[in-house]
Amino acid sequence: MTFAAQSGHPGGSLSVTDLLTALLFHEMKVDPARVDWPERDRLVLSKGHASPALYAALALRGFLPREELLSFRKLGSRLQGHVDRNKLPCIEASTGCLGQGIGMAVGMALDARLRHAPQRVYAVLGDGECQAGPTWEALMAGGHYRLSNLVAILDRNGLETDGSTESIMGIEPIADKFRAFRYHTLEIDGHSFPAILEALAEARRTTDQPTAIVARTVKGKGVSFMEGKHQYHGKPPTKAEAEQALSELSRASEGPS
């Protein structure tokens, strides 16, 4: 998608793919046939630039045709550079400017609690986003209101546009920060499905406070030349790179030979 568009954010999309897969295919109560089902769980991609990963997961889950994916970032497409609920109804909240999605997720979780609805709200954050003050405002509110139906999932790939988060503006010890903000905080391998699913199950069992999941991930996961490289935060691959990436990813999806 980022090759076809010749723009976009491949690195942070690949790091979050396993998390989104676990949410949309295993954890969340959603129905592609009823995008406006009131009691569906809500997913807010606060790191809205990881849109390719979400679009791909939504397509495979049946929310949009797979053929539409290559329209990403093109004029007239529903697949905007950053996720857009007005164009694509299965998106819960338009995001992109960082530090806002988590606030909207807090609002949604507050609403569900006011209605005594069994609805759960999942907010997926980037780690560069944790440098933004409003991220912590929103997290503070989630902790203050003891929103046990809220799960904040941090895609901790360690890299942002210009380099590593710790070299630019360190966010560690990040798990301690979540704890200080009154979150039940778990640290996991964000590419291990058993670990992700167990953390989400533990979040469900947590009834008096919100849960934060610090998912340690690899930026550019699955593509050898992208892994751990901040240069692929906002840079699309060349044709040769795209072919290699797709080849590596499809080999991986077929499992070890």
Partner 1 sequence: MSAVVGKAESLRDAYGKALVELGEKDSKLVVLDADLSGSTRTVLFGQKFPDRFFNVGVMEPTMMSIAAGLALQGRTVYASTFAVFAAGQAYNFVRQSICYNHANVKIVATHGGLLVGPDGGTHQIVEDIGLMRGLPGMTVIVPADAPTTRAATFAVAEREGPAYVRLTRENLPTVTDGSFALGKAAELRSGTDLTIVAVGALVARGLEVAEELAKVGISTRVLDFASVKPFDGPALLRAARDTGAILVLEEHSVLTGVGALVASTTSENYPVPVRRVGVPDLFGESGDAWALLDRYGMSKDRIRDEAWELLKVRGKVQ
Q: Token pair for residue 14?
A: 């690949």
Phi, psi of 236, deg, nearest 5: -75, 160
In the bound state with partner 1, the residue whose beta carbon lies nearer, of 78 and 229, is: 78
In the bound state with partner 1, the residue whose beta carbon lies nearer, of 138 and 151, is: 138
Our finding on whether 180 is near partner 1 (CB under 8 A) is: no
CB of 248 to partner 1, least distance (A): 35
Among positions 43-62, residues that touch partner 1 (CB under 8 A) are 44
CB of 37 to partner 1, least distance (A): 13
**Got the DSSP string for 158-227?**
SEETTEEHHHHH---SHHHHHHHTT-EEEEEETT-HHHHHHHHHHHHH--SS-EEEEEE--TTTT-TTTT
In the bound state with partner 1, the residue whose beta carbon lies nearer, of 97 and 246, is: 97
CB of 224 to partner 1, least distance (A): 35
Among positions 119-158, residues that touch partner 1 (CB under 8 A) are 134, 137-138, 140-141, 145
Asked if 2 and 233 count as a contact pair (C-beta separation under 8 A), the reply is no
What are 185's strand-pairing partners? 212
Among positions 60-119, residues that touch partner 1 (CB under 8 A) are 84-86, 92-97, 99-112, 114
Residue 247 burial by Cβ neighbours in a 10 Å radius (0-12, 13-18, 19+): exposed
In the bound state with partner 1, the residue whose beta carbon lies nearer, of 14 and 105, is: 105
CB of 105 to partner 1, least distance (A): 6
CB of 230 to partner 1, least distance (A): 25
Helix, strand or coil, per DSSP, at residue 133: helix
CA distances from 213 to 143, 145, 152, 210 (A): 14, 18, 6, 10
DSSP letter, residue 132: S
In the bound state with partner 1, the residue whose beta carbon lies nearer, of 90 and 196, is: 90
Residue 42 burial by Cβ neighbours in a 10 Å radius (0-12, 13-18, 19+): buried
In the bound state with partner 1, the residue whose beta carbon lies nearer, of 44 and 58, is: 44
CB of 54 to partner 1, least distance (A): 16
CB of 42 to partner 1, least distance (A): 8
Residue 167 and residue 247: Cα distance in Å, rounded?
33
In the bound state with partner 1, the residue whose beta carbon lies nearer, of 96 and 228, is: 96
Interface positions with partner 1 (CB under 8 A): 38, 44, 84-86, 92-97, 99-112, 114, 134, 137-138, 140-141, 145
